[in-house]
Structure 1
Amino acid sequence: MKNTKPYNEFGDFLKEIFPYKVQKISINAGFTCPNRDGLKGFGGCTYCNNQTFSPEYCHTEKSVTVQLEEGIRFFSRKYPGMKYLAYFQAYTNTYDETEILIRKYEEALSYPGVEGIIIGTRPDCMPDTLLEYFARLSTHKFVMIEYGVESTLDKTLLHINRGHTYSESEETIRRTAGMGIYTGVHLILGLPGESREEILHHADILSALPITTLKLHQLQLIRNTRMAKEYTEHPDLFHLYTVDEYIELVIDFIERLNPSIVVERFVSQSPKELLIAPDWGLKNFEFTAKVNKRIAERNTWQGRLISTIS
C-alpha cells in the first residue's frame, strides 16, 4: 500500500489546497426543491426532513451574510486565523433563476475570510449556464458541487421518490468534473430493498466516475417523513444496522472504492429529537475512531479489492 493512511481523508485533501485551516459554514439560502414544488413531484424524497441539517445559526429568514457572520463568530473564537467555505446545504441550491443564484453565491464570496463555496444540489438541477459560471469561478476560488446521488439503482431511486435516474447522476458528474470543478457525491447505505451486495456494488460503479469526494450516510429514519411511515407499515423492507454491522459494511465498501476518491465522512448525524432509529449515541468523530480501529484490526485499506472485482 502506497499511502500512509488507510483511506483518502478529507482533511488531508483540504491541506493540499489551503495553507491554513478552513471550516465549512452551512447556509440555508431559502431555496426549495423540484421534488417538492411540483416540477418533479410533491412531498420530496421519502427520507427527507431538511431540519436534520440546519445548524442553529442557519435559518431561512436570515440573509446569507447574517448566517455567515454568526457561523464565523462561533468558530473564530477558537481559531482566529481560520478561513471559511460557504456551504449552501439545505434543499436544492441550484434551483432558481440563474441571476438570483449567482447573487447569493457572490454575497457569500464577498464576506471577509470566505475562500470558496460548496454547493449541495441534485444531479437533475445543473443547467449548462450555471455550470459555466462555476467553471469560471473555480479558476480563482475554491468551488465544489456536491450531488445527492443516494443510490446507483433506479429501482431504489423510484422507491424513495427521488425524481431522477442514476444515468442523470452519472451524466452530470462527468459534465461537472469535465469542466475542472471539484465534484462530490452523497450516498445513503441501507436504503429499503437493497441487498448487502447491491450496496457494495455502488462502490464499484462510483469508482469508475471522476468523483473528488464521497459522503456516506447510514440510513436514518426521521420523524415526519414518509419513510418513517413506510417502516411502521413494512418493517420487513428495512435493515437498520447496528454500529458494528455498519462499521463492517463501510470498511467492505471502501475496500472496493477507487483510492483516488476522498472519503469525507462515513455517517451523518440527525438531531436526536428528530431521529427514530438507529440511535447509536455516537458523534461522527467517535464513529470514525471506531472505523479506524477496525480498519487496523483488519489490516485493510481503501481500494484493496479494486483489482479483484470485475
Structure 2
Amino acid sequence: MDRQSRYKDFSGFLAGYFPFKVQKLSVNAGFSCPNRDGTKGYGGCTYCNNQTFNPAYCRTEKTIAVQLEEGKQFFSRKYPQMKYLAYFQAYTNTYAGLDSLVRMYEEALGVPDVVGLVIGTRPDCMPDALLDYLEELNNRTFLLVEYGIESTDDGTLRRINRGHTFACTEDAVRRTSARGIRTGGHVIVGLPGEEGRDKIIRQAEILSGLPLVTLKLHQLQLIKGTRMGEEYLRCPGDFHLFTAEEYVDLVIDYIEHLRPDLVLERFISQSPKELLIAPDWGMKNYEFTNLLHKRMEERDAWQGKYFKT
C-alpha cells in the first residue's frame, strides 16, 4: 500500500484539478486581525507570531503582484512549467472591506501563471456579502478557503484567547461549503489542556462531521514573542510537549479516526530556529512525512480505519 493509499494527500488532491505542478506562494497583504485591533481583543491568540511563516519575499511594502513575481522566481529556476496558487496567509485575510478584498484577490489572479487562490482566515470573519463574491469567484478559478479552527473545545479556545467559539467555526464552515466553495481547516495538536490522546482523537471525530475538504494539523510550538511562550518559560510543567516519536504515533491514531475522504495537507510546522523555544525536533516536513509513512506501514494503519459514520 503506497502513501496515497494510506491517507489522502494534498499533492494528489491538486493533481485531480491541474494537469501540471502547482505550488502555493504566500502573500502578505497587510491584514490585521479582530483579535489584535480591539474589535475582539488585543494581543492576538496567545500562540501567534506571524513571523514564523512569512517567506522573505512577503513584505507589505511590496504589492501583491510583486510578492508573487518574486516568489515565482524562486521556483521557476527548477520548475519552469510550474503554476501557482496565491496563498493569502498572514493574519486574517478576509478582514477588510469587500471592495478592498476584491481588489487584492483580483490583483493576485491577474499575475501570469497564478491559477487560483487559497485564503486563510478566521471563522468569525466571513460575512455573507463576501461569500456572495467568493461563490462567483469559485465558479471561474480554483479557490480554497482555509479556516483557523485550532481547537474544537471552547475551554481551550478561551485559554488561547481565540475570541470565538467552536459553534462559530461550525457555522462558517457550513455556510462556506454550502456555496460550493472548497473549505479547509487548520488545528494545533497538543494545546494546553488538550494533550491527552482521548481528547485529541475526539477532535478528529468532531472535525470529520464538518463538510471540510482539507485539513492541516501541526504540533504545538512555543514561539518567542508570544504570550504562550512566556507562559511556558514561567511554568513549563503546565505544558506537555510531544517528542517526535510520540507525535508520529498520535498523528496516526488521529488519521485512523478521520473521515476517509478528508485531504491531509500537513502534519508538522517548522518555525525558524531563532524564534523557536520548544520543541526542537530538527526535522523537516518531508522527513516527518517519510517517518509517518514508515510507521503507518509498520502498524498497517490507514486513514479512516476506525472512522464511524
TM-score by length of 2: 0.98
Q: Does 2:219 correspond to 1:225? A: no
- Separation in structure 2 between the aligned mates of residue 268 and residue 145 of structure 1, nearest angstrom: 20
Shift of 1:60: 1.3
Q: Determine the C-alpha separation between the residues in 2 that align with 1:295 and 1:60.
A: 41
1: distance between equivalents of 2:234 and 2:80? 51
- The answer to whether the 8 Å contact 2:27/2:64 transfers is yes
CA distance in 2, matches of 1:51, 1:61: 15
The CA distance in 1 between the partners of 2:249 and 2:145, in whole Å, is: 29
Q: Partner letter of residue 297 of structure 1?
A: E
Kindly state the Cα deviation for residue 200 of structure 1 after the two structures are TM-superposed.
1.3
Once the two structures are superposed, residues 110-141 of structure 1 have per-residue CA deviations (whole angstroms, 9 ceiling, x without a partner) of 11110010000000000001111111011110
1:41-97 deviation per Cα after TM superposition (whole angstroms, max 9, x unaligned): 000000000100100111111110110010001111111111110000000000011
- Residue of structure 2 equivalent to 1:303: 304
Task: Name the structure 1 match of 2:91.
Answer: 91
| 1:190-209 CA-partner distances (Å, limit 9, x unpaired) | 00011221111110000111
> Are 2:153 and 1:153 aligned?
yes
Q: Is the 8 A contact 2:4 2:12 kept in 1?
A: no
Gaps of 5+ in 2: none
Letter in 2 for 1:135: E
Change over 3 Å in CA distance of 1:178–1:274 after alignment to 2: same
Gaps of 5+ in 1: none
Deviation at 1:235, TM superposition (A): 2.0
* Number of equivalences: 308
List aligned pairs for 1:161-310, cutoff 5 A.
161-194=161-194, 195-307=196-308
1:42 has 2:79 as partner: no
Distance 1:82 1:114 in 2: 10
Q: Is the 8 A contact 2:64 2:107 kept in 1?
A: yes
Provide the secondary structure at the position in 2 that maps to 1:17.
Answer: coil
Contact kept in structure 1, 2:186 and 2:215, CA below 8 Å: yes
Which residue matches 1:52? 52
The aligned amino acid for 2:280 is: D
Write the letter of the residue equivalent to 1:191: L
- Residues 146-205 of structure 1 deviation map (CA, whole Å, 9 limit, x = unaligned): 000000000000000000000000010011011100101000000001122111111000
Query: What is the deviation of 1:3?
Result: 9.5
In the TM superposition, what is the alpha-carbon distance from 1:5 to its structure 2 partner?
1.2
Identity %: 62
Read off the aligned partner of 1:214 and give its amino acid letter. L
In 1, the alpha carbon distance for the partners of 2:283 and 2:3 equals: 28
User: Residues of 2 paired with 1:201 and 1:235: CA distance?
Assistant: 25
Matched, 1:133 2:133: yes
- Partners of 1:78 and 1:258 lie apart in 2 by 36
- The one-letter code of the counterpart of 2:156 is T
2 CA distance for matches of 1:142 and 1:35? 29
Cα distance in 2 for residues equivalent to 1:226 and 1:2: 41
CA distance in 2, matches of 1:236, 1:88: 36
Q: Distance in 1 between matches of 2:4 and 2:186?
A: 26
Kept after mapping to 1: 8 A contact 2:3/2:293: no
After superposing the two structures, state which structure 1 stretch, 232-241 or 256-265, moved more: 232-241
Tell me whether 1:108 sits opposite 2:108 in the alignment.
yes
TM norm structure 1: 0.97
How far off is 1:4 after superposition?
Answer: 6.0
Aligned Cα root-mean-square deviation (Å): 1.3
For 1:255 and 1:238, how far apart are their aligned partners in 2? 25
